Structure 1
């Protein structure tokens, strides 16, 4: 005969308390005296009682689930963010529901609207312009965005992309590079900050920036763009890429074309993904501390869900990671 599953009524009867008392204890809605709590804990363990998440959500109004939307889960930058956010969520008893919009702005709105109906709050990466994100800010859900927002009053966590780009460019200049180019991805708001940081540093030294634009922030796109950058007239002596994936793709193609790296061109990127330290040559990169961004964003979101005060914008300081893909030309 199949053994019946213990219910909250069974726990209450065995502990000599009301079902309301057991419910409040299990859901953390109220504290009781140590003897009462110890008795409830003992009975729950003896009976093997497991609370029903759906029932809990009906009582508390919370699902204990948060949503996290990323642009491309195959990009290690986003994987690290998920890792950091998930660690914080688990420590607070939350489950993360992940969606991958696959770099498709057209998919974002329907996917985020569907996600919002299933979670207590959301962490969101978006490729959409701020002017196209007002509907997101108007949703009745606690929300934290990744990336700096200048128009929307939405809490955010961001890296200081401008500072990171300036630091990297200054380093290349001190190494003696004079023909510095930028391979960007203009569909990203963060691209504008990175490009501006490079331009500002070069302008301070009386130099202009050559800009190449790509259609995707991927290694395949970096590989595809290589020939047009390296074979059309005098090529740059240093190339800053929008991210590490593009830099790694570019380096592979440049070496296939017969160029020596970094002897003929130095290459650097952003994100400091793990693969960059294993490439040949190992990749110089701006570490935006992706995992730390995930931690900070989840901590901010959970504070908002709990009705606590949270800073409007948290900026993570970048770090410059120097490796063999850039060389001194002095």
Structure 2
């Protein structure tokens, strides 16, 4: 039977592999008319930088069989028939359950993921060989309604200075949408809960310094027109779109690493599947040195302990997480009343309502 499949040669550490792309003319992004083959070719062009940023990590694949406007689902473990150059590592999820998860070690593996209709790549902040201990501190600066990317810029600059104070070197990238992602390499000596506490400590300190511009309030109704520091992205099995990953947005944007001196002059919409390869060729990879000088969390964890001693403890976890030690009850402030609140535990009603109150 005739087929319109295309075979792409993909260079990598083991030589050139040939990766078959079926349905290459399938349109994934209708507005710019970008096809599955276009996406595969994009990954080939940015392959080295993509793997440097996202390789050797457990990764979740966000797959869109019919394009970005159609059905989507997340895939974590390698499906049957995965090539031998796509491996898996067993990781532990918040429930305590363990399961194998995909690891990408070379550009051909990422192109294979595109063949499986992957559009967005979500790498863990830990390496495959030590998945319980992150080697990256990740902070998501998320503009709330009434704010945008430009409002997140001062927060990012202040956050960089704050992290420098505690001995961490900050790298940044656009989220691919309106937000800014700030990463800092760390020594992989603390498990996820401790890294979460370090992120909360940094977020609270940033909020103290910029109370009118930054918030750590988990509940949307309390955030106002401020930049939300999404501390829950630091949890186990919570991920952000990886560096150089496309996003499932109409203009085919990319979560793109940038230099700090570019921040105040960039438009995140300019970084797309069509433009980023040439940028990478001419400007280079701003994240090329991200793993060179990892820092420690000692100071941030001392700030966390200071805040705990001053009465500031744990913050809410995502609704699908088990109840965590020291966590405040999960109920929206506006629903905290005698009908659904006993002061210590959630009622059945509040347990249901929390599922409708997830953060963006």
Q: Same fold (TM over 0.5)?
A: no
TM (norm. structure 2) is 0.24
Task: Find the structure with the greater CA-based Rg.
Answer: 1
Q: Which has the higher helix share?
A: 1
